[in-house]
Amino acid sequence: MSMDIKQIQDLIKFVSKSGVNEVSIEEKDFKITIKTNQEPTYVTASVPAVAAAAPVAAAPAAATPVAAAPVAAAPAADDESKYITVKSPIIGTFYRSPGPDKGVFVNVGDEIAPGKVLCIVEAMKLFNEIESEVSGKIVKILVNDAQPVEYDQPLFLVDPS
């Protein structure tokens, strides 16, 4: 997997926007490490060469747990003010299930606890499992399956009571 200059530039742009402090890619004949001056966020991935060439909708060969971005109070709507918003910690594509023929991770009404996988956000062929940092019940899913998401974009509303 050798990268051309355009791919390296794209990777640098992605790293600077994603909030990740350091990315390191190492193959048998190629190694690159990109560091930023941001607070550290650790993501470790091992992607077989077959998975790297897989279509976006394919099931992840190796999923990497990523803690959900810091939770914040939902928008100031009266009925939604008591809910916690789970936000995307990275830029990528939101998936509700581990694969096209697999069941979804969570539905509205499901009880969740810290560490429970809520969804996958695929970024640059890496499938990152987004885990809950809170306990409660899923009240609303704010993103459609296979939709692009931005850093810090609200994904779920959770009722902590």
Residue 149 is predicted with a pLDDT of: 94
Assign residue 87 a region (left: φ > 0; alpha: ψ between -120 and 50; beta: otherwise).
beta
How would you write the pLDDT of the chain (161 residues) with one tens digit per residue? 566 778 777 777 777 777 666 777 777 777 888 777 655 545 555 444 444 444 444 444 445 555 555 544 444 444 567 899 999 999 999 999 998 899 999 999 999 999 999 999 999 889 999 999 999 999 999 999 999 999 999 999 999 98
What global pTM score does this model have?
0.54
Q: Rg (Cα) of the chain, in Å, rounded?
A: 16
Residue 40 amino acid letter: P
Distance in angstroms (rounded) separating the CA atoms of residues 47 and 143: 26
* Residues ≥6 apart with Cβ < 8 Å to 23: 11, 15, 33, 34, 43
